[in-house]
Structure 1
Amino acid sequence: MKSKILTLAAIMLLITSCGTKKTAVATAPETIDTMPPRELSLEQAEGKKLYENNCTKCHKLYEPTKFDKEKWQPILVRMQKKAKLDDANMALITSYIHSQL
């Protein structure tokens, strides 16, 4: 009797798992990979490259529009020290971020 119940339960589990259709839940984009492309100047393109190459070493890339200029400023200052970026490179990254806002 136990084996029949276990067999029936296994078959039901198999049927249920194969028969369910999962749907994707639409969420707001959070990473730079989902951003629409924009025209960038050479300076901004260099800033984007620096942003992508340096920031992904420690965490995911956030969409520049996730924060406004006032909120980005202390983040960029704090991250400059952690990423050991000089002022020129930080200016390029800041220019890129501001161009996307």
Structure 2
Amino acid sequence: MKRKILSLTALILIATACSTKKTAVAETPPVGKEIKATELTPELAEGKNLYENNCAKCHKLFEPKKFTKEEWTPILVKMGKKAKLDETQMVSITNYIDSQL
């Protein structure tokens, strides 16, 4: 009985050791789609920070992709005035929103 168990175990070990290795295949992005960097530049990170901290004081934040660039422009102008943001802050927020579209 011991001999059968040892033989079976040895056979399984040999079969496992001889099996082919599977390699991971990297997915390629669809044609025409750009890969966006997950890390933001310091300027874009500042715009994101301003967007999250100033806009969320009064209402929920919208995903940048919810609107087009043309739709965002009047929204940002109107909200920038209400939030009393200066031109530099508005440019930073606008650049962040545009980078996410």
Please give the TM-score of this superposition, normalised by the length of structure 1: 0.62
Q: CA deviation at 1:43?
A: 0.4
Q: Letter of the aligned partner of 1:59 in structure 2?
A: H
RMSD of aligned alpha carbons: 1.1
Which structure 2 residue ranges, 5 or more long, are not aligned? 1-36
- Cα deviation for residue 49 of structure 1 reads 0.2
Structure 1 residue runs of 4+, over 4 Å off? none
In the TM superposition, what is the alpha-carbon distance from 1:87 to its structure 2 partner? Answer: 0.3
Structure 1 residue runs of 5 or longer lacking an equivalent are 1-36
TM-aligned CA deviation for residue 38 of structure 1: 2.6
Partner deviation per Cα, 1:48-73 (whole Å, 9 max, x = no partner) = 00000000110000000000100000
Distance of 1:74 and 1:51 partners within structure 2: 15
What is the aligned partner in structure 2 of residue 81 from structure 1?
Answer: 81
Question: Which secondary structure state, in structure 1, belongs to the residue aligned with residue 75 of structure 2?
Answer: helix
Paired residues for 1:1-101 under 5 Å: 38-101=38-101
For this pair of structures, how many residues does the alignment match?
65
Aligned partner of 1:82: which letter? K
Q: Structure 2: how far apart are the matches of 1:40 and 1:82?
A: 27
Kindly indicate which of the two structures has a greater share of residues assigned to helix. 1
